Amino acid sequence: MQINFLGKNLHTPLVLASGVLGNNKAILERVWENGCGLPTMKSIGPAPREGHKNPTVIDLGNGLINAVGLPSPGYLNMEEEWQELSDRVFPITASIYGGSVEEFVQVAAFVSAKGPDFIELNISCPNSDQHGMVFGVNAQSSHDVVAAVKKVIHVPLIAKLTPAAPDIATIAKACEDAGADAICAINTAGPGMVIDIESRSPVLAFKKGGLSGPMIKPIAVRCVYDIFRSVSIPIIGLGGISTGKDAIEIIMAGATLVGIGTAVRYRGITVFDKVNKEISDWLAVHDTSMEEIRGAAHREAL
């Protein structure tokens, strides 16, 4: 199921979500070998960060709640990894975050020079007080950060959005207008909270956390549907996708590529091969293609 994405040939339409497993070259490669067309690195930040104390990730059965807290060596401390990645045979997206437009620009310029295939702006992480989501809930600040970063990088830019935005279609349009080459939707939903009633305390050390996995799929499908109607750049549909049928659903909402994160928990690293096969099987049975079904859910309305 080869697919062309922003001029790059990917061996499958599946993307590994940022923050899931992508901590070193060996794992990114293993995910790619297991059927992921485009692995995303863990988000890279402006300074070293340890993230939050544990518990940081809890399985609720129908999805996860997490407040890992954007751990990162910091963009200046990753020479060894870039060195190893330099002779890779697979494509990668580098995800970055910052606490201000200046920080985003600083990190983006540096990372762009290291030659990833794409750069994704995480303007949507709920798990830090200073970083991320503050940008992604406002059209003007989303526009500003995308426009500023676009000037200093030499690879296509993907803007990753949060479902917490009051009107995600407007944010997506602002990113497109500012020069974004693609949209990735969605980051985790919420934030939510779970309380242990015996100890009477929130389970996550950070108290609140982002929701992912099957329980947020309807939100992701709605967001991709809304975004598809407002932009003409491609969309990476992400959020609760676990099976081939889930993938078909979000493609019908308008996604070109399909991201997978939490499903690694429920179906293992081989989830990519499984979902690819399930997509192909479904397409074969229905005698159709990815291109034909992309945005199909809009047909009547269009």
Partner 1 sequence: MITQLMPAMVKVADKDVHSPEFATLYVNQHIDFKPGQFVMVWIPGVDEKPYTISHHSPERFGITVEAKGLFSRKAVSLGPGDKIGIRGPFGNGFNMGIGHKRVAVVAGGCGMAPLAPLVETFQTDKGPEVFLIQGARSKSFLLYPDRFAAKAEICTDDGSKGYKGFVTDILVQKIKDLSAISTPAFDMVYACGPEIMMAKVFDICEVHSIPCQVSLERYMRCGFGVCGACVCGHAVVCKDGPVFGSKMLRTMADFNTRALLKTGQPVPLNEYATWRCQ
Ligand X SMILES: Cc1cc2nc3c(=O)[nH]c(=O)nc-3n(C[C@H](O)[C@H](O)[C@H](O)COP(=O)(O)O)c2cc1C
Binding residues for FMN: 18, 42-43, 122, 160, 186, 213, 239-240, 261-262
Residue 101 has which token pair?
A: 């437009």
CA-nearest of 234, 220, 124, 230 to 183 is 234
The first and second tokens of residue 151, run together, are 């000037």
- In this structure, are residues 261 and 20 in contact, taking their beta carbons and an 8 Å threshold? yes
Question: Judged by CB, which is closer to ligand X: 142, or 299?
Answer: 142
Closest CB to ligand X among 106 and 124? Answer: 124
Nearer to partner 1, 79 or 167 (CB): 79
Pick the closer one to partner 1 by CB: 48 or 284: 48
Q: Is-contact 284 1, C-beta < 8 A?
A: no
Catalytic residue among 36, 125, 175, 184: 125
Residues at the contact surface with ligand X, assessed by CB under 6 A: 17-20, 42-43, 57, 64, 66, 68, 70, 95, 122, 125, 160, 187-188, 212-213, 216, 238-241, 260-263
* Nearest-approach distance from CB 135 to ligand X, in angstroms: 12
Binds 18: which of partner 1, ligand X, none (CB < 5-8 Å by kind): ligand X
Q: Which partner in ligand X, partner 1, none is near 21 (CB below 5 to 8 A by kind)?
A: partner 1
Half-sphere exposure of 295 (CA within 13 A, CB side): 15
Task: Please name the residues in contact with 161: beta carbons below 8 A apart, sequence gap of 6 or more.
Answer: 123, 124, 136, 142, 168, 171, 172, 175, 183, 184, 185, 186, 187, 223, 227
Annotated active-site residue 36? The verdict is no
Distance in Å, CB of 146 to ligand X, minimum:
15
DSSP-derived 3-state class of residue 169: helix
Task: Pick one of ligand X, partner 1, none as the site partner of residue 62 (Cβ within 5 to 8 A by kind).
Answer: none
53 binds, among ligand X, partner 1, none (CB under 5 to 8 A by kind): partner 1
Q: Using an 8 Å Cβ cutoff, are 193 and 207 in contact? A: yes
Q: Provide the sign of the torsion angle of the four alpha carbons 23, 25, 31, 36, taken in this order.
A: positive
Please give the residue ranges that form the binding site for partner 1 (CB under 8 A). 19-24, 26-27, 29-30, 42, 48-51, 53-61, 64, 66, 68, 71-74, 77-78, 80-81, 194, 196, 198-199, 201, 203, 205, 261-262, 264-265, 268-269
Chain center to CA of 224: 13
Give catalytic residue positions: 125
